[in-house]
């Protein structure tokens, strides 16, 4: 038993000696080493406990865990394992990082360096300049808070506060961030910048100004090499005489393309027109806008806005030659005038708006139909000038007294005249017929006028029929109600579409438009997340950057989490 006990004590002694040796080795590894001390002195009054080294024909040199330091004068506190380097200081970390300054304080135990005076930090891809820089070699991070400038192959970046993550090759700039590039400038409250990819992530109010565009957002991404990116919070792009706003807005300079998703407004700054939708594209080269998903075009005419809707809206052409086209389920609304058809074609240069395929318009309570309908505006006043209903023209209005019969007039063609945006005169020509309920001043029915002639002129007042005039051998009579059978009171081709009448600007939207579900805009949520922003963006199917096709179109029906339109 005694032999075993003695053996155990010997093992314990050797173990303690090994632990002590390992601890000593670790302490020695942490120690700052003198490579070249040159001239040695001590000054216990000013620098108690310190060894002072000054250069001779070469600078003083120290080494510490993969880093070398050169200076003119070094004040070395060996017991505290710290160093004050003064004059032409150079700190090198392998072949990758070099920092120069007037002075450095270096803590060996923590591997922390604080540099003052014309500090320059360099690696193969960038140069950082500031007055004071803290360099954490353990975390491989550098930090400044007194203004700094970073220069790489593409940009010059300045900010009041900055942090450099060396392993990620990423900067986090805070407060008064400015990026200067030969092609544009970028200003931001906070910006994360990757020196390898030259990608920038913006947090807080940010503005990018290029030669032909201006971008504002409060959360966004920008590829500074190719001038392409997007914003996902309060984003606005001023581009090609248009202002584009939306929940998510994408821009690509090279493709001369911008797109937006959710709650979009595209404003024509020259023609003062507005497009609202939940997906839109702007093509600069074609000077065009494409919009869909509850899309509406709004133009102001003498304080009376005209609203045009279609499943798809397209605006193309130079400002003075704009073409507006609404495809499939097209509708329009303005005070006292509304209509619907399959498609609408409106031309700025001529002032002509065409309603194509099964058109119907309502002027007040008057329904007008025909094979095609044209509205013409005065190019100078921009007020409505005239109306054409071509082939099978038909006017119908519900008799406002009996609320059972219908006033009707038909002909081959119809021509109308507007005065101060109010329809005043209507001419029906060729094979015209009329059925009209006539009343005295006491709203007592006099009879029902049924007449055939070659032309009818209708005078309107406040969107109601004031007078009828028949031309060229009118053939007809005023029949007592009892003498005109019900089936004789309806003209051939009669189709009443009163339940389709558009009474408000909201009526231009169908149930599908109002129940539209929007994709949830995601990405760039947390600036502290280091590399997570790009990973999150790349995995987000609704992100515009991931959806660019060969025709520059972003899929508006991206498969993503959805929410209802309010």
Q: What is the pLDDT of residue 529?
A: 44
> What is the C-alpha radius of gyration for the chain, rounded to an integer number of angstroms?
40
Give the rounded distance of the alpha carbon of 181 from its chain centre.
22
Give the rounded distance of the alpha carbon of 62 from its chain centre.
54
d(CA 453, CA 475): 6
E strands present in 123-197:
126-136, 141-144, 148-152, 156-159, 161-165, 170-181, 184-194
d(CA 133, CA 161): 10
pTM for this predicted structure = 0.77
d(CA 314, CA 275): 10
Which residues are within 8 A (CB) of 509 and not within 5 positions of it... i.e. 6 or more apart?
294, 296, 309
With contact defined as beta carbons under 8 Å apart, do 313 and 295 qualify?
yes
Entry field: residues in the chain: 566
3-state secondary structure 24-61: HHHHHHHCCEEEECCEEECCCCCCCCCEEEECCCCCEE
Q: What is the pLDDT of residue 7?
A: 39
β-pairing, 352-356 vs 213-223, is unpaired
With contact defined as beta carbons under 8 Å apart, do 356 and 342 qualify?
yes
Q: What is the pLDDT of residue 79?
A: 93
With contact defined as beta carbons under 8 Å apart, do 57 and 127 qualify?
no
Q: Hey, is 181 helix, strand or coil?
A: strand
Q: What is the pLDDT along the chain (566 residues), one digit of tens a residue?
A: 333 343 334 444 444 545 445 555 555 568 999 999 989 999 999 899 999 999 999 999 999 998 999 999 999 999 999 999 999 999 998 888 899 999 999 999 999 999 999 999 998 888 999 999 999 999 999 999 989 999 988 899 999 999 999 888 889 999 999 999 999 999 999 999 988 888 899 999 999 999 889 999 999 999 989 899 999 889 999 987 889 999 999 999 988 899 999 999 999 888 778 999 999 999 988 889 999 999 999 987 666 788 999 999 999 888 778 899 999 999 999 888 899 999 999 998 898 999 999 999 999 889 999 999 999 988 888 788 999 999 999 999 998 888 889 999 999 999 999 988 889 999 999 999 999 999 888 888 999 999 999 899 999 888 888 888 888 888 888 999 888 998 899 999 999 999 999 999 999 998 888 888 888 887 665 544 444 455 555 565 555 445 444 333 333 333 333 444 44
Locus of tokens 């001369």: 256
């Amino acid at each position: 038993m005694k032999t075993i006990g003695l053996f155990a004590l010997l093992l314990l002694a050797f173990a303690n000696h090994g632990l002590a040796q390992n601890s000593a080795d670790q302490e020695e590894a942490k120690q700052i080493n003198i490579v070249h001390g040159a001239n040695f002195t001590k000054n216990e009054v000013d620098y108690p406990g310190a060894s002072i080294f000054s250069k001779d024909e070469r600078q003083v040199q120290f080494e510490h865990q993969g880093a070398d330091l050169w200076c003119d004068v070094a004040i070395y506190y060996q017991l505290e394992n710290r160093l004050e380097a003064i004059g032409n200081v150079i700190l090198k970390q392998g072949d990758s990082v070099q920092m120069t300054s007037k002075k450095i304080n270096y803590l060996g135990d923590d591997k922390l360096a604080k540099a003052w005076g014309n500090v320059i930090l360099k690696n193969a891809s960038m140069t950082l300049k500031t007055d004071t820089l803290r360099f954490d070699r353990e975390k491989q991070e550098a930090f400044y808070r007194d203004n700094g400038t970073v220069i790489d192959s593409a940009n010059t970046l300045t900010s009041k506060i900055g942090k450099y993550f060396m392993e990620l090759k990423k900067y986090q700039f805070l407060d008064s961030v400015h990026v200067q590039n030969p092609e544009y400038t970028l200003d931001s409250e906070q910006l994360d910048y990757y020196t390898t990819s030259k990608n920038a992530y913006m947090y807080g109010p940010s503005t990018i100004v290029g030669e032909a565009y201006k971008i504002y957002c409060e959360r966004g991404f920008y590829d500074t090499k190719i001038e392409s990116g997007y914003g996902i919070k309060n984003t606005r792009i001023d581009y090609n005489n248009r202002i584009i706003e939306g929940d998510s807005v994408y821009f690509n300079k090279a493709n001369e393309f911008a797109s937006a998703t959710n709650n979009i407004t595209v404003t024509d700054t020259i023609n003062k027109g507005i497009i609202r939708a939940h997906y839109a594209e702007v093509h600069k080269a074609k000077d065009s806008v494409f919009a869909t998903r509850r899309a509406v075009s709004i133009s102001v005419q003498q304080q009376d806005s005209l609203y045009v809707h279609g499943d798809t809206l397209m605006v193309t052409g130079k400002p003075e030659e704009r073409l507006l086209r609404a495809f499939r389920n097209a509708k329009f609304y303005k005070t006292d005038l509304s209509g619907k058809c399959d498609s609408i074609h409106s031309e700025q240069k001529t002032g002509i708006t065409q309603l194509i395929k099964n058109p119907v318009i309502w002027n007040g309570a008057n329904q007008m139909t025909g094979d095609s309908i044209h509205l013409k505006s005065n190019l100078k006043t921009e007020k409505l000038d005239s109306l054409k209903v071509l082939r099978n023209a038909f006017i119908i209005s519900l008799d406002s007294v009996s609320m059972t019969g219908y006033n009707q007039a038909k002909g081959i063609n119809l021509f109308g005249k507007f005065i101060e945006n109010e329809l005043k005169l209507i001419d029906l020509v060729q094979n015209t017929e009329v059925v009209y309920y006539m009343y005295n001043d006491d709203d007592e029915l006099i009879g029902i006028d049924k007449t055939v002639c070659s032309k009818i002129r209708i005078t309107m007042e406040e969107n109601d029929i004031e007078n009828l005039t028949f031309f060229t051998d009118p053939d007809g009579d005023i029949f007592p109600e009892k003498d005109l059978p019900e089936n004789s009171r309806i003209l051939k081709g009669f189709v009443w579409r009163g339940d389709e009448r558009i009474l408000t600007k909201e009526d231009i939207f169908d149930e599908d438009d109002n129940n539209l579900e929007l994709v949830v805009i995601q990405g760039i949520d947390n600036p502290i997340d280091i590399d997570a922003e790009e990973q999150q963006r790349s995995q987000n199917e609704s992100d515009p950057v991931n959806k660019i096709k060969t025709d520059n179109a972003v899929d508006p029906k991206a498969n993503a989490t959805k929410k209802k339109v309010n």
